Structure 1
Amino acid sequence: MTDDERRVEIEYCTQCRWLPRAAWLAQELLTTFEAELTEVALKPGTGGVFVVRAAGEVVWDRREHGFPEPTAVKKAVRDRVAPGRTLGHSEKTGR
């Protein structure tokens, strides 16, 4: 897997002052995927944007899904960068 495939980008709206939210989510992802991710980038944007991309694919868009719960984003990122990896207690078993 290339470095680009293990990269996450969080684009956030500077006008809405969503940097703290983006930074918190970046911290959550780096803590969970410290061995799997090569980078979590924060990308300033405008117009109410809050989009999470993993391996170049949009995995969460606030305009479609609202603000994410960390577990939902972790599952989406995991599916791109570490398929088959368990998220432990935050992921329900017995599906």
Structure 2
Amino acid sequence: MSEKPVVTIEYCSMCNWLMRSAWMAQELLSTFSHELGAVTLKPGTGGIFEIRIDGALVWERKRNGGFPGPKELKQLVRDVIDPERDLGHVDRVKAPKAAD
């Protein structure tokens, strides 16, 4: 049996992004409780916010223009660890509202 993937969220502690990072970790652990080996939080400085899966960079705040939303985060991780998995309501596209 192969090792389960590990997600690392490195955040800027000087920017007070711990709570945001912890919330993202909770979301990932709730959604991928059986697929992930761990989600770790790594404090950093200098405005850093990066998400890595087994060391591979999948999100960088400066490169990607901010922080991922919950839907985007879950899809991003799913696409790496289990591309065939259906995330249910997270994957559903909202129908456009009818014009009045």
Same fold (TM > 0.5): yes
State how far apart, in whole Å, the 2-side matches of 1:37 and 1:51 are: 18
Aligned residues: 92
Specify the alignment match of 1:10 in structure 2. 9
Runs of 4+ in 1 over 6 A off after TM superposition: none
Query: What are the residue-to-residue correspondences of 1:44-55 with 2, within 5 Å?
Result: 44-55=43-54
What are the ranges of 5 or more consecutive residues in structure 1 without an aligned counterpart?
Answer: none
Range 18-27 or range 68-77, more displaced: 68-77
- Mark the structure with the bigger radius of gyration: 2
State how far apart, in whole Å, the 1-side matches of 2:18 and 2:54 are: 21
Specify the alignment match of 1:79 in structure 2. 79
Query: What are the residue-to-residue correspondences of 1:18-57 with 2, within 5 Å?
Result: 18-57=17-56
Could you tell me whether the CA contact under 8 Å between 1:6 and 1:39 is conserved in 2?
Answer: yes
RMSD (Å) for aligned C-alpha atoms: 1.4
What are the ranges of 5 or more consecutive residues in structure 2 without an aligned counterpart?
Answer: 94-100
Greater helix share, structure number: 1
**Fraction of identical pairs, as percent:** 52
Calculate the TM-score normalised by the size of structure 1: 0.89
Q: CA deviation at 1:17?
A: 0.8
